[in-house]
């Protein structure tokens, strides 16, 4: 009876909130924003939703997973390209008492927050191309976003005077902090290979800058150019990001020879990354400072089109080999540490979780602590292209009672939890 009384009261409040405003131009926006806020605060207690239609139970080898669809967003593209797929550029999570707060940057610069949807004015020079018309996929725009001291930063694709390049900017004032050189190939240039994985440690930001793919080979070879930011993991001091002058920021090149690393995590003193290969050859790498990871001179994948091997062209350079290579490709996206209950279950190993786009799966990766060898990889099919973990401000996965959150390419937010360990 008490619950019914509360529901009646809430209903009256909502009607009062909307009353007299149904003819307003802001009506639809108000309803939409209210719906987003309302849904974001629901489905928090797993025990109350065991049999609901928006969740499913998946039985894995040694545990079960509960996967719940929390929110689905229907957002019109800010690019003016009707019907194309909007992807997330970053997904940040937090919790205020019993309610979740989230901040989701989209590829076109729009910002979805708990309280509504807002537009972020990207620079007018931002470049985006309808790379695959049949799939309504757009190449370019905001490729990654992160936050430091309430300031938002991003990796974006740019074009000026016929020059295509990537840059790191401060969102809001569009201040350019770091700018890559002009990409030498402009035919079939695809900015989906821009990297964008990151984490903060101490006073430093570690961030990946990938290599946009192109028909020619000159762009790919920038990954081996130690004067270029492309195909690198960069180390940047926080002070450089926050300084108020107009000088370009200083950075260190931590490692080179990367193609498109979209996953990056540090556990204890070890840094791991997941990286897109070409046709096959996706990689799990143990990142060593000053290491050269071989792209485009060496890869376990093959060239698009002719299927030619990359690693037939031997050089005198010594490359760091991946600790694991996926054949065929899985298109790995984000990477992070396992929730505490799963890490404790596999306590003799380093436990990582990775998201996948092509395989539409979650991967649990177990690595031997002493010799860094892959012990086991378990694939858990979820049926959606999964892009980002919900992360805290440090870039680490946000956990709430061992639950974590994932954004998909259909703009759905999933809550995932491991339980019933056997």
Can you give the residue ranges of every domain in the chain? 1-40, 41-419
Tally Cβ neighbours within 10 Å of residue 6. 10
Q: What are phi and psi of 8, to 5 degrees?
A: -65, -45
Q: Which residues of the chain have pLDDT under 70?
A: 1-53, 80-84, 129-138, 311-316
The domain defined by 41-419 folds into Neuraminidase (2.120.10)
Identify the helix (H) or strand (E) that includes residue 145.
Answer: strand 142-148
| Cα–Cα distance for residue pair 243/322, rounded to 1 Å | 37
The residues with which 68 forms a beta bridge, in sequence order, are 55, 415
Q: Is the peptide bond before 185 cis (omega within 30 degrees of 0)?
A: no
Predicted pLDDT of residue 129: 65
Predicted pLDDT of residue 23: 30
Predicted pLDDT of residue 28: 34
pLDDT digits (tens, 9 = 90+) for 211-228: 998 888 899 999 999 999
Tally Cβ neighbours within 10 Å of residue 66. 18
**Letter string b/e over residues 91-101, b meaning 16 or more CB atoms within 10 A of that residue's CB:** bbbbeeeeebe
Q: What is the DSSP string of 351-419?
A: EEEEEESSS-EEEEEEEETTT--EEEEEEEE-SS-EEEE-B-TTSSBP-BTTBEEEEETTSEEEEEEEE
What is the pTM (predicted TM-score) of this model? 0.85
Helices (H) and strands (E) in the chain, counts: 5, 27
Q: Shortest CA distance to 181 belongs to which of 151, 145, 147, 226? A: 226
DSSP code of residue 313? S
* Residue pointed to by tokens 């989230």: 102
Task: Judge whether 280 and 201 are in contact, CB under 8 Å.
Answer: no
Predicted pLDDT of residue 258: 98
* Residue pointed to by tokens 């012990």: 375
CA distances for 4 relative to 44, 45, 182, angstroms: 20, 19, 63
pLDDT digits (tens, 9 = 90+) for 87-131: 999 999 999 888 889 999 999 999 999 889 998 888 888 877 654
Contacts of 176 (CB under 8 A, 6+ apart): 167, 168, 169, 248
Predicted pLDDT of residue 12: 41
Task: Judge whether 128 and 119 are in contact, CB under 8 Å.
Answer: no
Q: What are phi and psi of 245, to 5 degrees?
A: -80, 175
Contacts of 90 (CB under 8 A, 6+ apart): 103, 104, 105, 144, 145, 146, 154, 388, 391
Q: Percent of the chain at pLDDT above 70? A: 82
Order of strands, sheet of 332-337, starting from the edge strand that comes earlier in the sequence: 332-337, 349-356, 361-368, 374-381
- Token couple for 80: 């003016």
Task: Judge whether 236 and 204 are in contact, CB under 8 Å.
Answer: yes
DSSP code of residue 24? S
- Token couple for 96: 């205020």
Q: What is the DSSP string of 33-65?
A: HHHHHHHHTSS--GGG-TT-TTEEEEE-SS-EE
* Residue pointed to by tokens 């002070």: 239
* Residue pointed to by tokens 């979209």: 262
Task: Judge whether 274 and 260 are in contact, CB under 8 Å.
Answer: no
Predicted pLDDT of residue 82: 61
Predicted pLDDT of residue 113: 93
DSSP code of residue 299? -
């Amino acid at each position: 009876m008490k619950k019914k009384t509360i529901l009646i009261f809430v209903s009256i409040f909502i009607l009062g909130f909307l009353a007299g405003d149904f003819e307003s131009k802001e009506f639809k926006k108000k309803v939409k924003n209210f719906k987003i806020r309302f849904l974001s605060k629901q489905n928090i207690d797993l025990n109350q939703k065991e049999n609901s239609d928006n969740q499913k139970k998946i039985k894995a080898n040694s545990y079960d997973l509960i996967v719940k669809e929390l929110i689905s967003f229907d957002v019109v593209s800010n690019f003016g390209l009707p019907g194309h797929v909007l992807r997330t550029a970053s997904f940040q999570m937090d919790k205020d008492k019993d309610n979740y707060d989230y901040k989701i940057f989209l590829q076109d610069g729009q910002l979805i927050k708990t309280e509504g949807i807002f537009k972020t004015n990207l620079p007018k020079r931002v470049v985006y191309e309808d790379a695959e018309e049949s799939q309504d996929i757009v190449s370019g725009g905001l490729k990654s976003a992160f936050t430091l001291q309430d300031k938002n930063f991003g990796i974006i694709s740019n074009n000026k005077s016929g020059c295509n390049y990537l840059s790191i900017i401060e969102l809001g004032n569009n201040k350019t902090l770091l700018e890559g050189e002009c990409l030498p190939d402009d035919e079939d240039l695809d900015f989906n290979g821009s990297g964008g994985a990151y984490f903060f440690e101490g006073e430093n930001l570690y961030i990946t800058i990938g290599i946009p793919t192109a028909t020619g080979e000159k762009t790919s070879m920038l990954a081996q150019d130690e004067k270029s930011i492309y195909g690198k993991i960069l180390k940047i001091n926080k002070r450089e990001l926050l300084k108020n002058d107009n000088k370009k920021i200083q950075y260190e090149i931590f490692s080179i020879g990367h193609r498109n690393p979209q996953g990056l995590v540090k556990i204890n003193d070890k840094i791991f990354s997941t990286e897109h290969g070409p046709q096959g050859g996706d990689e799990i790498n143990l990142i060593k400072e000053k290491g050269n990871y071989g792209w485009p001179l060496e890869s376990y994948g093959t060239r698009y089109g002719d299927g030619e091997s990359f690693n037939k062209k031997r050089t005198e350079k010594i490359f760091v080999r991946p600790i694991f290579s996926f054949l065929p490709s899985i298109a790995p996206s984000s990477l992070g540490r396992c929730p505490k209950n799963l890490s404790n279950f596999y306590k003799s190993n380093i436990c990582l979780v990775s998201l996948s786009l092509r395989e539409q799966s979650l991967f649990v990766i177990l690595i031997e602590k002493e010799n860094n060898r892959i012990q086991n990889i378990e694939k858990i099919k979820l049926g959606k292209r999964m892009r980002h973990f919900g992360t805290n401000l440090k870039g680490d996965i946000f956990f709430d009672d061992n639950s974590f959150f994932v954004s998909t390419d259909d703009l759905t937010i999933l809550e995932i939890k491991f339980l019933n360990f056997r």
